Chain A
Amino acid sequence: MEAHLIKINLPFLLLFIFAQSIYTQEISTSVSNNLKAGSGFEFFGERLARMKKNYFENFSDVRIFIPKLTVGFRLEYSNPPEYGYNFIGLRKRFIEFETSGLSIRAGDFYTLFSKGLSINLSENRNLAFDNGMDGLKLSYENDFLKAQLIGGDLNYFEPLSIYLGNPRFEKYKVRAASLEIIPLRNISIGGNFTWSEGLLPSVISTMDTIEVHIPELFLKTKLGNFDFFASYAIKRTNLGGKDTSKGSGFYSSISYSREGFGITFEYKDYRFDIVEPLRRSETFRPTRALPFQNPPIVHKEHIFTLTQGMPHIVDFNDEVGFQIDAFYSLSNSITLNTNIALSSRHYDYELNQSTLQFERKKVGSDLFPSLNKLRSPFWEIYLDIEYFLPDEIDSYIRLGFNRRSETIYDRMNFHTPIQPIRSTTILFEFQKVWSDYISTKFISESQWILEFPQTERFFNQFFSIAFNFFSQYSLGLRYELTTNKFELENRKNWLVIEGGYRLGTNHTLIINYGKERGGTVCSNGICRQVLPFDGFRLTLTTNI
């Protein structure tokens, strides 16, 4: 279905369907609303660069369920937004028909092919990330096969470009198919194929036109307590009619689980666009892994504030590594979680003084990650123990330890190419329900950091305490301090007071006021820079 026809007709179609069905028992509706507002100041780098920051956003998602048919749309009012660009109007709309394993959807959609090496469309509003498509999606599924066909347009806004002063929009036409066959109950094999044509802003000409082909094969098996998955994708990119780049990605996982114990080993070998150091700094090069590709990150995604603060940003174009993650339950009240991750680039590069070209240099096997500094290694160890107090569901203590090391080897920096970041973090969390009416949650995080170009360690401390009354009201504060002499806004401590109110089970209001530190925030490998903020924020979430 053509997108512009949907744009014109969908509101009228919605009204028609609604009017037809309002007096019957055949319709139900669901509304989810999220309102965010804030007022204060943001800081760009130095204390002097203080900018007024006001935002007001409202997202209203509506679903209308009619037997075998779902109609949905989102009205958005972002003027100005917290992060992203101004938008007022109908942001999303779709109509979906489903029967006996068959699903046909026209309009906006998200989807996922196996583990996302070729297609992984999703949205994260907090990061202003949205790689959803507008077009047609056909899916069919029975006991022996799963098939999916998609076609449409992807208008992608690059969140990383927000602070560059020139918002970057990339346009893609995407046609893709996925087929998974299940010959035996515990084995499935499949393949995906993606074709795309992209129009990307260029630094050399006005726009770059690329054509991309991504074939992918995958295998899934379950044998006893073991689960195995492997997927391999090849990406070919034509830029300006020439076959300019060929890359690939491989991901595999094996896990073992039994009562009280589970362990997972994951391996990644992403080489979608390995380039020499000079080109690596060209973040938006057209041959890179594209916005609709989002493979697994293969390292731990943290839930504590300070461990989230300096995330490892995965390079899907050039990274090889693994992760081991295990859960062990000593008893019904004590659980251990441990995680070890290691990754690095595939190669080192050396500048040939006569040709002034970088030449690839092999350092160990390129199939395994290396701790050699020339390959920019990242490693991490995490351990936590969680203890639930006897006979209490919501009262627990958690103690954690995290040690992390990342070394950037920058061949373009001839004086100090080795740029290390090291951190050690001790985590403590305690929640206690005192009575039916009052509970408390306390968090302490202590972190020691060595961060290039500094040569001395500095210390970060985070405290948070929150009281919850009658399962309806909450009141808390967050306090953070640092001894970092080079903190961006030249401040040493931050305090935020937060209050929450829940009306029934459907409406949640949160208000906070104070000074927020900011930093890099990542979710699923997608990252955003949050600027330091002084002021108040309000969030109201409603589900009806």
Chain B
Amino acid sequence: MKKLYNLFFFLLLTNLFAQPKFIPDFKLETISGEKVSLYELLSSGPVYINFWAMWCVPCRAELKAIQQIYDEFKYKGVNIITINIDSPRSTSKVKSFVAGQRYTFPVLLDPNQEIFKKLNGYNLPYSLLIDRNGKVVKVRNSYLPGDEKEIVKDIQSILK
């Protein structure tokens, strides 16, 4: 047990001094049925990924902000995608929820949370900003009012 914790703290220390160098590829379906690959998106520019679920209250507020951010950056070479992690019990409602809210950003489905867990998500909302080299430059594990301004700043900084 002690060895395992030593291993963990070794990894933790390494992380404190080194940002992740790349993110693994994944492919998911959008609510319209198209397949989207992360690496294909990265070939055209940075990617902002937001994980959400319909039962998550702060996520619903953040989605409003993401729509505005998407409108601002969609022609500026930034790919903004959201990934819904509702269980199969709710996925049939996701499309009507998105349509009802007039959201136009891409919504991908991860109904078994495989990608969410692979990218080490724990809380919702969970967001990652990835530069065009596939490097994770920002991780967010919550959303509070006012964060949308920080997200815009983060995106602008990697476009420079």
Q: Kindly identify which residue among B97, B118, B147, B149 contacts A63, using a CB–CB cutoff of 8 Å.
A: B118
Q: Which residue of B lies closest to A65 (CB)?
A: B24
A-B contact count (CB 8 A): 221
Residue contact A25 to B21, C-beta cutoff 8 Å: yes
A206 at the interface (CB under 8 A from B): no
Q: Which of B78-129 contact A (CB under 8 A)?
A: 87-90, 92-93, 95-102, 111-114, 117-123, 126
Any B CB within 8 A of the CB of A262? yes
Within 8 Å CB of B33, what residues of A? 185-186, 222
Given that A32-B122, A301-B90, A525-B89 are known contacts, is A22 also in contact with B14, CB under 8 Å in the complex?
A: yes
- CB-CB under 8 A from A427, the residues of chain B are none
What chain A residues lie within 8 Å of B24 (beta carbons)?
65, 70, 98
Q: Are A393 and B148 in contact (CB under 8 A)?
A: yes
B158: CB under 8 A from chain A? no
Q: How far is B91's CA from A253's CA once the two chains are assembled, in angstroms?
A: 10
The reply to whether B15 and A61 contact each other, CB–CB distance below 8 Å, is: no
Tally B residues with Cβ within 8 Å of A.
67
Contacts of A65 in B (CB 8 A): 20, 22-24
Q: Which residues of A contact B87 (CB under 8 A)?
A: 116, 120, 122, 294, 524
Q: Say yes or no: A296 contacts B88, CB within 8 Å.
A: yes
Q: Does A460 contact B (CB under 8 A)?
A: no
Q: How far is the CB of B33 from chain A (nearest CB, A)?
A: 6
B52 to chain A, nearest CB (A): 13
Q: Could you tell me the distance between the alpha carbons of A31 and B118 in the complex, rounded to whole angstroms?
A: 11
B73 within 8 A of A: no
Q: How long is the Cα–Cα vector from A116 to B90 in the complex, in angstroms?
A: 12
Within 8 A of B (CB), among A321-364: 325-329, 332, 335, 337
| Contacts of A80-112 to chain B: CB distance below 8 A | 88-90, 98, 110-112
For window 113-158 of B, CB contacts with A under 8 Å fall at 113-114, 117-123, 126, 136, 138-142, 144-150
Chain A, 247-294, CB within 8 A of any chain B CB: 253, 255-264, 266, 294
- Does A431 lie at the interface of the complex (its beta carbon under 8 Å from any beta carbon of B)? yes
Q: Is the CB of B96 within 8 A of A253?
A: no
Decide: A28 and B145 in contact? CB cutoff 8 A: no
B92: chain A residues at CB < 8 Å are 227, 229, 253, 255, 264, 266, 296
- Which residues of B have CB within 8 Å of A431? 61, 145
| A98, B24: Cα distance in complex, Å | 10
Whether A31 pairs with B15 at a CB distance below 8 angstroms is yes
Judge whether B22 and A89 touch: CB under 8 Å.
no
A258 with B99, Cβ < 8 A, contacts A264-B92, A301-B89 known: yes
B114:A110 contact, CB within 8 angstroms: yes
Answer yes or no: B68 CB below 8 A from chain A CBs: yes
- Inter-chain CA distance A433–B146, complex, in Å, is 8
Q: Which residues of B contact A298 (CB under 8 A)?
A: 89
Most A Cβ at <10 Å: residue of B24, B111, B138, B147? B24
Report yes or no: A303 in contact with B57, Cβ–Cβ below 8 A: yes
Q: Quote the shortest CB–CB distance from A264 to chain B (angstroms).
A: 5
**Pair A394/B118 contact, Cβ less than 8 Å:** no
Cβ of A505 within 8 Å of any chain B Cβ, yes or no, is: yes
| A-chain residues with CB within 8 Å of residue B14 when the two chains form the complex | 22, 29
Cα–Cα distance between A229 and B31 once the two chains are bound (Å) = 13
The smallest beta-carbon distance between B10 and chain A, in angstroms, is 8
Q: Are A541 and B123 in contact (CB under 8 A)?
A: yes
Chain A hits for B7, CB < 8 A? 11, 14-15
Cα distance, A214 to B15, chains bound together (Å): 45
Asked if A411 CB lies within 8 Å of chain B CBs, one says no
Is B144's CB under 8 angstroms from A471's CB?
yes
**Residues of A contacting B27 in the complex (Cβ-Cβ under 8 angstroms):** 141
Instruction: Return the contact of B112 from the options A111, A185, A544 (Cβ within 8 A).
Output: A111
Give every chain A residue within 8 A of B21 (Cβ-Cβ): 25-28
Chain B, residue nearest A263 (CB): B96
Q: Are A502 and B95 in contact (CB under 8 A)?
A: no
Select which of B102, B144, B148 is within 8 A of A329 by beta carbon.
B102
Residues A262 and B120 in contact in the complex (CB < 8 Å), given A29-B20, A253-B92: no
Distance in angstroms between the alpha carbons of A417 and B116 in the assembled complex: 46
Q: Judge if B75 is at the interface, Cβ distance under 8 Å.
A: no
Is A396's beta carbon under 8 Å from chain B?
yes
Contacts of A263 in B (CB 8 A): 96
A474 touches B144 (CB 8 A): yes
A32: chain B residues at CB < 8 Å are 120-122
Instruction: State whether the Cβ of B41 lies closer than 8 Å to any Cβ in chain A.
Output: no
- Known contacts A122-B112, A327-B101, A396-B61; is A30 also within 8 Å of B96 by CB? no
Chain B residues positioned under 8 Å from A120 (CB to CB) = 87-88, 112
In the assembled complex, A388 has its CB within 8 A of some CB on chain B: yes
With A115-B88, A255-B92 known as contacts, the answer to whether A471 contacts B20 (CB < 8 A) is no
Contacting A at CB under 8 A, from B18-39, are 20-25, 27, 32-33, 35
Could you jot down 5 A-B contacts, CB within 8 Å?
A60-B8, A70-B118, A121-B112, A262-B95, A508-B141
Closest 3 CB pairs of A and B: A327-B100, A262-B96, A257-B99
Assuming A63-B119, A543-B141, what are 17 further A-B pairs, CB within 8 angstroms? A28-B22, A31-B8, A60-B12, A61-B120, A75-B8, A89-B1, A98-B25, A120-B88, A185-B33, A296-B90, A303-B55, A327-B99, A335-B100, A433-B145, A439-B145, A508-B123, A524-B87
